[in-house]
Amino acid sequence: MNRITKMVMVGLAGAALAGVPTWGQTRPAPGGGGGVGDVGIVKTGTAADVAAAHQADTQRAATKQTLAVLSFIAKGDADKALAEKMRFAVSQKMGRDPRFVRDDNVEVDQAISALQVTLDTWPSDDDLEKIVGLLDRDLLILGKVEGRTLTLRAYRGGKLDKEVSGPIPDAKESPRQAVEKLLADLVQMRFVVRDVEADHSDPQIEKNWLDRPNLVLDPDFELAVKDKDNQAQDWGAVLGPKRWHPAIATLGEAEGLGEDQVAVVPKAASGVPGAGDGVRGLAGVRNESGSCLMMRMSKNTAENNGLACESTWVPVEDGKRYRFAVRYHSTGPTPRLFIKGFAVAPDQFGDKNDPEAVRREYYRAQVLPRHANKGWGLIEMDFTPKALEKYADKKIQWVRVDLYIYLQPGDVFFDQVQIKKIERDER
């Protein structure tokens, strides 16, 4: 949540609902005129900061639906651990939906705790009224885990809007598709997944793929050797809130690379030959020397957030057909790769000169998951970047490649990342 404010809530025992402010309101802090049972919301920063933050929250809410994902209900340690993972998955996916502004889960938990409401079952009407009164959000999502079954509820205006339920796959499989299906039913989210990922039946399309330029910057991870900091500046590793550019590592350093690290390493670090073989568009080229990207992931990260590395901006044309391809080798983790599409959608609060602030995601295509393999394998997918019909005024101008791995610990190597326009020429 883009706030510069911090809430501190105290003295809630016996608080009446009428005395509970919404998040966008302020009340006297303890010692500042508030009596027993008052809620004190202390906001740090100058008065101007507080006013600006409040105005920002109010105006953003006017253009997007506000959302909070409450703590998921579960009994027993095993179900509680799974419920936390499911809540994280739902929160991440809802946070990427451009229709919503999602509150930070930690602040949501603090608010619920301050109300002295325990979510160990579906909330009563009285508890729901208190939660709605405090959070003052357009949409509340609450979940419940019982064994391998996940139930999600959407509340709007203090009333149950819809409930959906479905199975959670076992620990050997990803819960992503299960969560996506439930969210598609619950709030009409759309996810693009293809059974046939690249169509090679059209000779002209195949010729375009062979002949046209690769749009990805530093596709072979070779530019780090020329960088003054010895880093791949066109790629960014992502681990939870951490962001960094992968640095060069020698063969020896690659062998001793720490867990949850991403580095540019010699191809020999993969332990298998053939990284340069067989990628259409680079036919006949053997490039077993040189560099590749290495991602080493711990068991804890694999079973929770996962590890990712994203490309910089790749310029594309809205509604045109492209093909993505990459070589990979995995010793254990499951690669689940994404193409994310962005349009210009600035607001009045962000830095207009900062691409991260004015470019917003309105398109996403995901590659079917791959598994550990003994050699170098090829991942490829055709895609057409275009926003949903309801956002037809948003034209996709850039995409980013998201190399995401999860589920099992180990190493994954990537090389020869390509995006080419394969659209037939207009006549």
- Report the distance separating Cα 301 and Cα 63, nearest Å: 35
> What is the model's pLDDT at position 181?
84
The confidence score (pLDDT) of residue 279 equals 39
User: Where is pLDDT greater, at 122 or 277?
Assistant: 122
Q: What is the pLDDT of residue 56?
A: 46
Rounded to two decimals, the pTM is 0.60
Q: Is residue 186 helix, strand or coil?
A: helix
pLDDT higher than threshold 80 for residue 219: yes
DSSP string, 91-155: HHHHHT-TTEEEPPHHHHHHHHHHTT---SSSPPHHHHHHHHHHH--SEEEEEEEETTEEEEEEE
Q: Which residues contact 20 (CB under 8 A, 6 or more apart)?
A: 39, 115, 130, 133, 134
Backbone angles phi, psi at 184, to 5 degrees: -60, -40
- pLDDT top residue among 386 and 350: 386
Residue 346 has pLDDT above 90, yes or no: no
pLDDT score recorded for residue 425: 79
* Mean pLDDT score, 75-101: 87
- Do the Cβ atoms of 246 and 230 come closer than 8 Å? no
Domain boundaries, the chain: 66-189, 193-421
- Asked whether 419 and 398 are in contact (CB, 8 A), the reply is no
Looking at the structure, give the CATH architecture of the domain made up of residues 193-421: Sandwich (2.60)
- 8 A C-beta contact, residue 206 and residue 280: yes
Q: Given this model, what pLDDT does residue 357 score?
A: 77
Domain 66-189: assigned CATH number: 3.40.50.10610
Measured distance CA(9)–CA(350) in Å, rounded: 29
Contact 242, 337 (CB under 8 A): no
pLDDT (0 to 100) of residue 426: 64
Q: For a pLDDT cut of 70, what percent of the chain falls above it?
A: 78
Q: Using the 8-state DSSP alphabet, how is residue 164 labeled? A: E
Helices and strands of the chain, counted as H and E runs: 9, 20
Which among 290, 229, 234, 236 is positioned nearest to 262, based on CA atoms?
Answer: 236
Q: Residue 22: its pLDDT value, please? A: 31
DSSP 257-308: PPTTEEEEEEGGGGSSS-TTSS-TTSTT----SSEEEEEEE-HHHHTTT-EE
CA distance 162 to 121: 17
Q: What is the pLDDT of residue 309?
A: 98
Give the chain's mean pLDDT.
80
Quick one: pLDDT band at residue 73, thresholds 50, 70, 90? very high
Instruction: Specify the residue for token string 């010895």.
Output: 230
Which pLDDT value is given to residue 296? Answer: 98
Q: Report the pLDDT averaged over residues 374-402.
A: 92
More confident residue, 324 or 89: 324
Residues 193-203: tens digit of each pLDDT: 554 588 898 99
Q: In whole angstroms, what is the distance from residue 325 CA to residue 202 CA?
A: 17
Provide the 10 A C-beta neighbour count for residue 32.
10
CA distance 90 to 141: 9
Q: What DSSP state is assigned to residue 339?
A: E
Q: What is the pLDDT of residue 406?
A: 92
Q: Is the dihedral of CA 217, 199, 294, 355 positive or negative?
A: positive
Count other Cβ atoms within 10 Å, centred on residue 43: 19
How much is the average pLDDT of 139-167? 93
Q: What is the C-alpha separation between 399 and 314, in angstroms, rounded?
A: 5
Distance in angstroms (rounded) separating the CA atoms of residues 259 and 252:
15
pLDDT at residue 276 in the model: 44
Distance, CA of 190 to CA of 321 (rounded, Å): 19
4-62 pLDDT, tens digit per residue, is: 233 323 333 333 323 333 333 322 222 333 222 222 222 233 344 434 444 444 444 44
* pLDDT tens digits for range 168-205: 887 767 777 788 889 888 987 666 555 458 889 899 99
- Determine whether 334 is exposed, middle or buried from the number of CB atoms within 10 Å of its CB (0-12, 13-18, 19+): buried
Q: Quick one: tokens of 375?
A: 């050699």
Q: Which two tokens stand for residue 243?
A: 């962001």
Q: Give the single-character DSSP code of 333.
A: P
264 closest CA partner among 281, 284, 244: 244
What's the order of all strands across the beta sheet hosting 247-248? 247-248, 261-266, 291-297, 410-421, 322-330, 377-383
pLDDT at residue number 105: 87
Beta-bridge mates of residue 141 = 69, 154
Q: What integer is the mean pLDDT of 366-382?
A: 92
Residue range 97-113: average pLDDT? 86
What DSSP designation does 226 have? G
Phi-psi region of 260 (alpha: psi -120 to 50; beta: other; left: phi over 0): left
What's the pLDDT at 220? 96
